Structure 1
Amino acid sequence: MATNVEVKRCLNFINGEWVKAANDDVQASTNPANAEEIVGYVQKSTKEDLDQAVAAASDAAKAWRKLSGAERGSYLFKAADILESRLDDIAETMTREMGKTFPEAKGETARGVAILRYYAGEGMRKVGDVIPSTDSKALMFTTRAPLGVVGVITPWNFPVAIPIWKIAPAIIYGNTVVFKPAQEAAVTAAKVVECFEAAGLPAGVVNFITGAGSVIGQGIIDHERINGITFTGSDAVGKQVGQGALARGAKYQLEMGGKNPVIVAADADLDLAVEATISGGLRSTGQKCTATSRVIVESSIYEEFREKLVAKVKEIKVGNGLEGDTWMGPCSSEGQLNTVLSYIEKGIEEGAQLIHGGKRYTENGCEKGYYVEPTVFDNVSNDMVIAQEEIFGPVLALIKVDSLEEALKVANDVKFGLSASIFTTNIQNMLDFVEDIDAGLVRINAESAGVELQAPFGGMKQSSSHSREQGQAAIEFFTSIKTVFVKGS
Structure 2
Amino acid sequence: MPDQRLNYISGEWCESHTGETFETTDPAIPGDVVATYPESDAEDTERAINAAREASGGWGTTPGPERGRILARTGSLLEERKDELTELLVREEGKTRSEAGGEVQRAIDIFRYYGSKASDIGGTIKSPSARDTKLYTKTEPLGVAGLITPWNYPIAIPAWKIAPALAAGNAVVIKPATLAPGVVHEMASALEEAGLPDGVINVVTGPGSEVGETIAGHEAVDAVSFTGSTAVGNTVYDTATEDGKRVQLEMGGKNPTVVSDTADVDKAARIVASGAFGVTGQACTATSRAIVHEDVYDEFVDAVVDRAAAIEHGHGLDDPSMGPHVSESELESTLEYVDIARDEGATLEYGGSTLDREGYFVEPAVFSGVDSEMRIAQEEVFGPVLAVLPVGDFDEALAVANDVDYGLSASVVTDDHTEANRFAEEIEAGVVKINEKTTGVELHVPFGGVKDSSSETYREQGDAGLDFYSISKTVYDNY
- AA in 2 matched with 1:487: N
Counterpart CA distance in 1 for 2:417 and 2:55 is: 53
| Contact in 2 for aligned 1:337/1:371 (Cα 8 Å) | yes
Q: Which moved more, 1:36-45 or 1:269-278?
A: 269-278
Counterpart position of 1:3: none
Choose the corresponding residue for 1:213, options 199, 205, 208.
208
Report the count of equivalent residues.
478
Counterpart position of 1:484: 475
Gaps of at least 5 residues in structure 1 are 1-5
1:87, distance to aligned residue in structure 2 (A): 0.4
**Does residue 70 of the first structure (1) align with residue 65 of the second (2)?**
yes
Choose the corresponding residue for 2:400, options 393, 410, 426.
410
**Does residue 285 of the first structure (1) align with residue 280 of the second (2)?**
yes
Counterpart position of 1:117: 112
Counterpart CA distance in 2 for 1:137 and 1:394 is: 65
**What are the superposed Cα offsets for residues 257-310 of structure 1, whole Å, 9 maximum, x if unpaired?**
000000000011222211111111101000000000000000011111111111
Counterpart position of 2:75: 80
Q: TM-score, normalised by structure 2?
A: 0.99
Identity %, equivalent residues: 44
Counterpart position of 1:342: 336
Show the 5 A alignment for 1:289-438.
289-324=284-319, 326-362=320-356, 366=357, 368-438=358-428
Counterpart position of 1:264: 259
**What are the superposed Cα offsets for residues 217-268 of structure 1, whole Å, 9 maximum, x if unpaired?**
0011111101110000000000011111111111110000000000000011
1:126, distance to aligned residue in structure 2 (A): 4.5
The CA RMSD measured in Å over matched residues stands at: 0.9
- AA in 2 matched with 1:383: E
- AA in 2 matched with 1:482: K
- AA in 2 matched with 1:369: G
Any idea what SS the aligned residue of 1:341 has? helix
- AA in 2 matched with 1:188: V
Any idea what SS the aligned residue of 2:421 has? helix
1:188, distance to aligned residue in structure 2 (A): 2.5
1:128, distance to aligned residue in structure 2 (A): 2.3
Counterpart position of 2:128: 133
Show the 5 A alignment for 1:160-239.
160-239=155-234
1:129, distance to aligned residue in structure 2 (A): 2.0
**What are the superposed Cα offsets for residues 371-415 of structure 1, whole Å, 9 maximum, x if unpaired?**
111000010011111110100000000000000110000000000
Any idea what SS the aligned residue of 2:147 has? strand
Q: TM-score, normalised by structure 1?
A: 0.97
Counterpart CA distance in 2 for 1:302 and 1:50 is: 53
**What are the superposed Cα offsets for residues 445-465 of structure 1, whole Å, 9 maximum, x if unpaired?**
000001100110000111011
Counterpart CA distance in 1 for 2:201 and 2:451 is: 32
Counterpart CA distance in 1 for 2:56 and 2:289 is: 45
**Does residue 273 of the first structure (1) align with residue 264 of the second (2)?**
no
**What are the superposed Cα offsets for residues 405-451 of structure 1, whole Å, 9 maximum, x if unpaired?**
10000000000000000001111011100110000000000000011
Any idea what SS the aligned residue of 2:236 has? helix
**Does residue 23 of the first structure (1) align with residue 14 of the second (2)?**
no
1:361, distance to aligned residue in structure 2 (A): 1.5
- AA in 1 matched with 2:336: S
Any idea what SS the aligned residue of 1:230 has? strand
Any idea what SS the aligned residue of 1:123 has? helix
Choose the corresponding residue for 1:461, options 441, 448, 451.
451
- AA in 1 matched with 2:474: T
Any idea what SS the aligned residue of 1:231 has? strand
**What are the superposed Cα offsets for residues 204-225 of structure 1, whole Å, 9 maximum, x if unpaired?**
0110000000000001111110
**Does residue 155 of the first structure (1) align with residue 150 of the second (2)?**
yes
- AA in 1 matched with 2:355: Y
| Contact in 1 for aligned 2:121/2:168 (Cα 8 Å) | no
